[in-house]
Amino acid sequence: PLPLLMDCDTGVDDALALLYLAGTPGVDLRGVITVAGNTSAEQAAINTLQVLELAGRTDIPVAAGAATPLTGTDPEYATHVHGDNGIGDIQLPPPTADLDRRDAVQLIIDAAHAAPGALHILATAPLTNLAHALEREPRLPELVRHVTVMGGAVHHPGNIGARAEANIGNDPEAAQRVLAAGWELTIVPLDVTMRERLTPAHQDRLRTHGTPASRFAADALDVYLDFHERIVFPFRASACHDPLAAAMAAGDLTPVQAPVLHVTVDTTQGPARGELVADTRGMYRGYPRTPEANARVLLETDGTFPERLVERIVSLDVPT
Ligand code: BDR
Ligand code: CA
């Protein structure tokens, strides 16, 4: 199985991604760390423990990481999208497992050393922890097999600014360091995560199935679907950001279009701050890759993933 560490800001869609990974047999989830984003890093860590417990996975180390972006400015949490507690205001029982004693950055570094050349990192949140880890362990890019990041918007508009998507835009300096670190990188931007959608039919299937994990997923989707119906789409459906990136990391997606491009982040203070700048010129000229290409960017998928997500959550059979 694929050794994987997830860095997230749990988050309704992060929670669904966690359940998806727990329900995917080819994945060996070695640890989960959190960062300020949808909610505080501490709250995200509690949410993570609770969600993993629904999946029967109290064995996975969890640690809370960076509470602010690299600039030290106060984070703005996305309570209007994910509810006040980050998981759609669903109240789960207090977790029985404790947080890991190590700090989140050490957890990344230890996971990388424990599986040299094999560890996959999935980041579905601002990249602050990874930036800190690169500073503490400069050999990290040689130790890690692949990094998959949910973030950015290539042709799609941003979701926290004209061009900025939340995970890149909430810590552009960290994102730029992670993109420039010289490791194998895949980016899963809004261009695809806004197109693979969860619908009330998926929610019904989860609710009817009736396990603790599937019921939680259905309930947490209420707030998330409300937000999308109110603000994003002219119909009731939600984006599928973090689960789609999890599927990409797990090798469970067949990309329709995924060019290898040169990507950087706008770290100026101007209107494009936080933009993922993907050099797509090579695509238009028909070249297979741009000269300093540093990331595979997923631009089109076949639209079949949400069904699989639901099936994986439904497959979690946890004795109560
Ligand atoms: C990303 O931002 C967060 O709100 C979501 O969890 C997802 O990771 C989407 O822009
Ligand atoms: Ca997230």
Which pLDDT tens digit goes with each residue over 189-218? 999 999 999 999 999 999 999 999 999 999
Q: Which secondary-structure segment (H or E) carries 56?
A: none
**Distance between CA 238 and CA 236 in Å, rounded?**
7
Q: Mean pLDDT, the chain, as a whole number? A: 96
State the DSSP code for 300.
Answer: B
* Whether residue 289 has pLDDT greater than 70: no
Q: Which residues have C-beta within 8 Å of that of residue 127, sequence separation ≥ 6?
A: 7, 149, 151, 167, 168, 171, 174, 175, 177, 178
- The interaxial angle of helices 12-22 and 241-249, nearest 10 deg, is 30
ipTM of the complex: 0.99
pLDDT: which is higher, 59 or 317: 59
Per-residue model confidence (pLDDT) at position 288 = 60
* Whether residue 312 has pLDDT greater than 90: yes
In percent, the amount of the chain with pLDDT more than 90 equals 95
Q: State which amino acid sits at residue 222.
A: D
Which of 82, 120, 228, 241 is an active site residue? 241
What would the pLDDT profile of 220-274 be if each residue is shown by its tens digit?
999 999 999 999 999 999 999 999 999 999 999 999 999 999 999 999 999 999 9
Ligand 1 lined by 159 (C-beta under 6 Å): yes
CA of 320 to the centre of ligand 2 (A): 28
Query: Cβ(78)–Cβ(72) under 8 Å?
Result: no
Mean pLDDT of 132-160: 98
What would the pLDDT profile of 52-63 be if each residue is shown by its tens digit?
999 999 999 999
Ligand 1 atom 2, closest CA: 166
* Burial per residue of 77-90, b for 16 or more beta-carbon CB atoms within 10 angstroms, e otherwise: bbeebbbebbbbeb
Ligand 1 lined by 124 (C-beta under 6 Å): yes
**Distance between CA 78 and CA 196 in Å, rounded?**
21
CA of 284 to the centre of ligand 2 (A): 31
Q: Which residue has the tokens 């959608």?
A: 197
Query: Cβ(23)–Cβ(312) under 8 Å?
Result: yes
- Provide the pLDDT confidence category of residue 36 given band limits of 50, 70 and 90: very high
CA of 199 to the centre of ligand 2 (A): 19
- Provide the pLDDT confidence category of residue 282 given band limits of 50, 70 and 90: confident
Ligand nearest to the CA of 165: 1
* Whether residue 287 has pLDDT greater than 90: no
Ligand 1 lined by 13 (C-beta under 6 Å): yes
Q: Which residue has the tokens 């396990």?
A: 211
**Which tokens hold the place of 43?**
């709250």
CA of 160 to the centre of ligand 1 (A): 10
* Burial per residue of 286-302, b for 16 or more beta-carbon CB atoms within 10 angstroms, e otherwise: eeeebeebbbbbbbebe
Q: Is 241 a catalytic residue?
A: yes
Chain centroid, CA 318 distance in Å: 24
**Distance between CA 161 and CA 240 in Å, rounded?**
19
Strands (E), 233-274: 260-265
**Which tokens hold the place of 30?**
């070695």
**Distance between CA 264 and CA 249 in Å, rounded?**
21
* 51, 124, 232, best to mutate for ligand 1 pocket (most atoms within 8 Å of CB): 124
* 6, 7, 9, 156, best to mutate for ligand 1 pocket (most atoms within 8 Å of CB): 9
Per-residue model confidence (pLDDT) at position 317 = 79
Query: Cβ(123)–Cβ(149) under 8 Å?
Result: yes
* 10, 129, 150, 198, best to mutate for ligand 1 pocket (most atoms within 8 Å of CB): 150
